[in-house]
Copies of this chain bind each other. A is one copy, B any other.
Amino acid sequence: MIGVFDSGLGGLTVVKELLKRLPNYKILYFGDTARTPYGTKSPETVCKYAIENTRFLLARGAKIIVVACHTVSSTSIPILRESFPDVPFFEVVTPSFKKALRLTKNKKIGLIGTRTTVESGIYQRLFSEADPEIKLYTNPAPLLVPLIEEGWLKKPETRSIVKKYLIPLKMRGIDTLILACTHYPLLKKIIAEKAGKRVRLVDPSEEVAIEVAEYLSRQENVAGVVEPNGEPEVWVSDITPNFERIAGMFLNRKISLKKFSW
């Protein structure tokens, strides 16, 4: 069983990509909707929540953990690995970094994400170590998550706000843009348009799913029982007023949620 968690329902974009590539694995998802969002909270608090979420997934039988949340992936992975030394963890930062490194030609990479992700500085460290010539330009884009959760995917205000966030990155001449938040792929079209034709986008959901699929192809049975065409099992810490609409937006199918709270 593959365990996946996120601060809310945005991580269902990762589930969607996993289902495409790994239809035979049972997926167990946990969305911490009672404490969402994480991207405006401190690394300490995010880390504490990440440990609790992992513990829940393991207790319910997950054999590997996919951290679908960019904020958690940016701040908490070393502590998660230390706290659960026998568990294989996958996160969204490393595969996104690798993909951007392969894509860029002019070595100017842009990144939008939550404030906590951007302030973590993790991408800066990874790129500096890999290639000191790479210039990374970041801009926190905190309004995109609420706009997406409201379903304002095509509204003029959303277009205008996306443009505002991208201008400083565009001015630097980036040729690659990392969408460092599970929500952002839902605005891919507008982001691509506002970023301009020469900018290629990195979608972390795809990248992490590819990495998990590769790992599982080498390590059969590590994720436990293989169940052909099983529905993902989706747990949340709060059944919020909006959940059906939001879940549908991310996963493109109806799901039933189960609630767990501490």
Are A146 and B156 neighbours in the complex by a CB distance under 8 Å? no
Q: Are B146 and A42 in contact (CB under 8 A)?
A: no
The answer for the CA separation of A132 and B40 in the assembled complex, in Å, is: 43
- Enumerate chain B residues within 8 angstroms of A119, measured Cβ to Cβ: 241
- Measured between beta carbons, the chain B residues less than 8 angstroms from A40 are 36, 149, 240-242
Check A42–B147 contact: CB distance below 8 A. Answer: no
Q: State how many angstroms separate the Cβ of A155 from the closest Cβ of chain B.
A: 8
Q: Is A238 a contact of B45 with CB atoms below 8 Å?
A: yes
Q: Using an 8 Å CB-CB cutoff, how does the interface string of A26-50 with B read, 1 for contact, 0 for none?
A: 0000000111100011101100100
Question: Residues of B contacting A149 with CB < 8 Å?
Answer: 40, 142
- Cβ B45 vs Cβ A41 within 8 A: no
Other-chain contact of A34, B41, B145, B156, B157 (Cβ < 8 Å): B41
Chain B CB within 8 A of A219 CB: no
Q: Is the interface of A mostly helix, strand, loop or mixed?
A: loop
Residues of B within 8 Å of A241, CB to CB, are: 40, 42, 115-116, 119
- How many Å lie between the Cα of A35 and that of B238 in the bound state? 12
Closest Cβ of chain B: how far from A87's Cβ, in Å?
A: 25
Smallest CB separation, A57 vs chain B (Å): 20
Residues of chain B within 8 A (CB-CB) of A145 are 146
Residues of chain B with a CB closer than 8 A to A45's CB: 34, 237-238, 261
Nearest-neighbor residue (CB-CB) of A243 within chain B:
B42
CA A36 – CA B150 in complex, angstroms? 17
Tell me whether A240 and B42 are in contact (CB under 8 A): yes
* Contact residues of A between 245 and 262, Cβ < 8 Å to B: 261
Report the minimal beta-carbon distance from A237 to chain B, rounded to whole angstroms: 8
B160 pairs with A156, CB closer than 8 A: yes
Pick the residue among B35, B160, B164 that contacts A35 (CB under 8 A): B35
CB contact between A142 and one of B34, B150, B239 (< 8 Å): that residue: B150
Which residues of B have CB within 8 Å of A167? Answer: none
CA–CA, A120 and B240, complex, Å:
13
Shortest Cβ distance from residue A257 to the other chain B in the assembled complex, whole angstroms? 11
Interface string of A140-153 (1 = CB under 8 A from B): 00110111011010
The 3 closest A-B pairs by CB, nearest first: A146-B146, A45-B238, A157-B157
A115-B241, A142-B146, A146-B146 given. 10 additional CB < 8 A pairs? A34-B45, A40-B242, A42-B240, A42-B241, A45-B237, A45-B238, A142-B149, A143-B152, A145-B146, A157-B157
User: What are 6 residue pairs bridging A and B, where the CB atoms are less than 8 Å apart in the complex?
Assistant: A36-B40, A42-B241, A44-B238, A45-B238, A48-B261, A143-B146
